[in-house]
Structure 1
């Protein structure tokens, strides 16, 4: 398995957290689990294998061009054959620029992005398959993203508010309540909740929880700090609160979590 992250061009850094390449050379299947990240992803499968996600007790093969909505609970996945995945990891607020529907409609789902974006993304996929040069592929991706952004000017002001609030929430010393935050932007907390759900798929509270969980996952993966220390450093009330929340997002307690439970997620946690 190879996993590599690629930084976006400066003009896209406020929208794209990173691009990434995941390649599986094994011809046999292996299972993994994806945890909530707070991001929405568009993924192109450029290999010959199949990528599957769990739906109930079954695994279903995903489409060649995937949209991953907000994952808010552990999602089992399966890689079969030689997969080459090129992903766009969008910041939560950025997903709204590429979707006409409310982002929350896609929570805990992997759907066919080509059915939402039409022939433009299908043409992009065909061009990505025509070249094996990663620099060229990223250039094609960025051209597509810039084109889509140019068509979304009407959303700029509202999405910008969501982006600013998210920046506040991500700060290590953030302890303010949402009512106070909303008032600073001249809106009600109820309206802020509505904006968040519409443009990110999350409420401010859930986004804060996922952000805190991701910080704790990085520390748990490194295994160089005690659970009490991790709980304190990540802003949990106490260790038991940390353990409950970690288990709700992974299916494991922090002490029982192993890198082998989710090698892909562990790879991303170390970038």
Structure 2
């Protein structure tokens, strides 16, 4: 049985200093890359743990869709704007968010699986826009079988280093259905994380599609209209530069498409619900640590700025995908 005491933190990736995962006493964090065969579908694996069962508040940045599975954990509630979700099911789906969100946890382990827009397109025929700023049971979107396999498989482990191999073995079954517009989804995904790209017409011209088609595609697979998606990426690029490099007083680091600091601060109100300074001063222990750890392991400090990867199937993943379900639950 996986218990919170089994989590040591760190990564399976080589040459990442352990200092990247430094946390306060009783808390641990782990980041891992998915198998190369999943790289353009899954943006990464994040494991957070806390031995303290007292209520703890944490704030997180707006992000693409994510699967979350709880292990040896107390109740978890999530607030996005004025909407509260919870207590959550053990396996939940966080839809794409355009607002910072607040969690209230009671200790235990949370295993996060970041989903790309292409991963969403393969996972379900439902529109990501239907789940914008929402958290729902994973079983209602991806089916009860995948929820059960994830929860039961994690329960059988006794070491957080085994989480990555387990997820690599289970997740291919979630993405078996190719999508006919994968090249377009991939191309738009790359533009959303490109500096200086903010105008919808410019994006439509680069993709050689009408703007109305761009709106449909962005909402269907990315969860929100293209203008909001591009503004979110621009804001997060600028915000993270301020809190990691320049400091909150140096607005010279913000994206060049901002007219001035007040323009940036208006976006902060939209995406954070407050000023950058107040947000950073709030309960952001796990967020601050995750920006450092994710950048060290995966390259981008936050999921919303994750680059687009080409598929590179590995021999291991091909053999695992062909194994029966029972063997896929082995750690």
**TM category, shorter:** 0.7 to 0.9
Tell me how far 1:21 sits from its aligned partner: 0.4
Residue 92 of structure 1 is matched in structure 2 by 117
Query: Partners of 2:98 and 2:112 in 1: how far apart?
Result: 19
Confirm or deny that 1:216 pairs with 2:238.
yes
5+ residue gaps, structure 2: 1-26, 295-331
Query: Partners of 1:22 and 1:234 in 2: how far apart?
Result: 35
Q: Secondary structure at the match of 2:191?
A: helix
Q: Would the alpha carbon gap of residues 210 and 30 (structure 1) be closer, same or farther in structure 2, given more than 3 Å must change?
A: same
Confirm or deny that 1:74 pairs with 2:100.
yes
Residue 108 of structure 1 is matched in structure 2 by 133
Of 174, 183, 188, the residue aligned with 1:160 is: 183
For CA contacts below 8 A with separation 6 or more, give which structure has more relative contact order.
Answer: 2
Q: What is the CA deviation profile of residues 205-241 of structure 1, one whole-angstrom value per residue up to 9, with x for unaligned ones?
A: 111111112212322322634342132x463221101
Of 228, 253, 258, the residue aligned with 1:206 is: 228
Q: Secondary structure at the match of 1:108?
A: coil
The answer as to whether partners of 2:187 and 2:207 remain within 8 angstroms in 1 is no
The answer as to whether partners of 1:95 and 1:103 remain within 8 angstroms in 2 is yes
CA RMSD in angstroms, aligned pairs only: 2.2
The answer as to whether partners of 1:128 and 1:137 remain within 8 angstroms in 2 is yes
Q: Would the alpha carbon gap of residues 244 and 49 (structure 1) be closer, same or farther in structure 2, given more than 3 Å must change?
A: same
Q: Secondary structure at the match of 2:246?
A: coil
Tell me how far 1:194 sits from its aligned partner: 0.3
Tell me how far 1:183 sits from its aligned partner: 3.9
The answer as to whether partners of 2:58 and 2:103 remain within 8 angstroms in 1 is yes
Q: Which runs of at least 4 in structure 1 moved beyond 6 Å after TM superposition?
A: none
Tell me how far 1:19 sits from its aligned partner: 0.3
Of 191, 201, 214, the residue aligned with 1:192 is: 214
Q: Secondary structure at the match of 1:78?
A: strand
Query: Partners of 1:59 and 1:102 in 2: how far apart?
Result: 20
Q: Secondary structure at the match of 1:216?
A: helix
Q: Would the alpha carbon gap of residues 9 and 57 (structure 1) be closer, same or farther in structure 2, given more than 3 Å must change?
A: closer
The answer as to whether partners of 2:32 and 2:46 remain within 8 angstroms in 1 is yes
Tell me how far 1:173 sits from its aligned partner: 4.2
Of 53, 59, 68, the residue aligned with 1:43 is: 68
Deviates more, 1:123-132 or 1:63-72: 123-132
Q: Secondary structure at the match of 1:197?
A: helix
Query: Partners of 2:264 and 2:55 in 1: how far apart?
Result: 33
Query: Partners of 1:114 and 1:58 in 2: how far apart?
Result: 19
The answer as to whether partners of 2:61 and 2:100 remain within 8 angstroms in 1 is yes
Confirm or deny that 1:18 pairs with 2:44.
yes
Residue 148 of structure 2 is matched in structure 1 by 122
Q: TM-score, normalised by structure 1?
A: 0.88
Of 133, 138, 148, the residue aligned with 2:159 is: 133
Q: Would the alpha carbon gap of residues 259 and 13 (structure 1) be closer, same or farther in structure 2, given more than 3 Å must change?
A: farther
Q: TM-score, normalised by structure 2?
A: 0.73
Query: Partners of 1:170 and 1:227 in 2: how far apart?
Result: 22
Q: Secondary structure at the match of 2:86?
A: strand
Confirm or deny that 1:27 pairs with 2:49.
no
Query: Partners of 2:35 and 2:256 in 1: how far apart?
Result: 30
Confirm or deny that 1:169 pairs with 2:192.
yes
Residue 236 of structure 1 is matched in structure 2 by 258
